Amino acid sequence: MFDGRLIIIKHCSPDSGLERDVLTSAPVWIRFPALHLKYWSQTILSKIASLVGVPLYMDKATTQFERLAYARSFVEISAKNHLPKCVHLEIEGGRQSQN
């Protein structure tokens, strides 16, 4: 990120031209606000993030429980797929969590 904008740097070779590549995917940070602590494991967070795209990694504050207001994951999202507006998670006792 630079000045609040995503910058994508690609490797160039001597044969590279000046034409613009069309992006088919983009890496983005996604937040899971008010996530029940029962879901705070790398395995479960990775499964939840995979509903949005391909999980790449989680930030240090999430993996080390330094910030409990939300979990955050870096995910590669395809331009072809539709993003879900919310994800419903069921915890013991039948209650549901919406994130």
Q: How far apart are CA 29 and CA 21, in angstroms?
A: 22
pLDDT digits (tens, 9 = 90+) for 76-98: 998 888 888 877 777 666 555 55
- 16-72 per-position pLDDT tens digit: 776 666 678 888 899 988 888 888 888 889 999 998 899 999 999 998 988 889 999
Each residue of 32-69: b (16+ CB within 10 Å) or e?
Answer: beebeeebeeeeebbebbeebbebeebeeebbeeeeee
Q: Is residue 11 part of a domain?
A: no
Q: Which domain holds residue 41?
A: 26-98
Q: Is residue 47 part of a domain?
A: yes
* H or E, element range at 55: strand 54-58
Q: Does 13 reside within a domain?
A: no
Q: What is the pLDDT of residue 60?
A: 92
Whether 37 is covered by a domain: the verdict is yes
Number of independent structural domains in the chain = 1
User: For residue 8, what pLDDT is reported?
Assistant: 72
Q: Please, are residues 53 and 65 in contact by the beta-carbon 8 Å criterion?
A: no
Say if 92 falls within a structural domain: yes
Res. 14: pLDDT tops 90: no
